[in-house]
Amino acid sequence: MPYRVTFVCTGNICRSPMAEWILRHHVEDEGLDVEVDSSGTGGWHVGDEADERTVAALYRAGYRSAHIARQFEAGWFDRYDLIIALDEGHRRALLSMAPDEEARGRIRLLREFDPDARAPDLDVPDPYYGGRADFDLVLEQVEAAVPGLLEEIRAALKER
């Protein structure tokens, strides 16, 4: 059974699909048995493709993208080994939906995996109202967290 990771942001068109495709690239390169997807805390963009600026940032960095936005549902907690929030607001929303302590224990902030990120500044900023530099910053922050996230995933896969 694969290890399952999901990323959660607000509308599932900017940050979480970017994180999804970056992690997906790395787990595929390593041949890890990991499924990666993403969703949003809200339903504003359900059915939409990823923001074109997200797709452009991914392509500039050598990643691919194919995405349709969806909203995270409370019944999904059992599906995932790791649920990664992109900011504290997403984390709080997920914690409020979690059915039990075990589910709450699967929720983490992405930047917790970046050794250079320091609390309380662990949010990945929402680039939606910004420009190219804002999307590139999100990409940089996601990439900075990926090595630590991969360590966590590898360790969990070894325990299975």
User: Which residue out of 9, 24, 81, 123 is catalytically annotated?
Assistant: 9
In angstroms, the first-to-last Cα distance of the chain is 9
User: Is 29 annotated as catalytic?
Assistant: no
Place of tokens 């609390």: 119
* Contact in structure between 70 and 40 (CB atoms under 8 Å): yes
User: Which residue out of 48, 70, 104, 126 is catalytically annotated?
Assistant: 126
Give the containing element (helix H, strand E) for 16.
Answer: helix 15-30
User: Which residue out of 15, 24, 106, 108 is catalytically annotated?
Assistant: 15
User: Is 126 annotated as catalytic?
Assistant: yes
User: Is 33 annotated as catalytic?
Assistant: no
Q: Give which of 112, 122, 138, 152 is closest to 53, Cα–Cα.
A: 138
Active site residues: 9, 15, 126
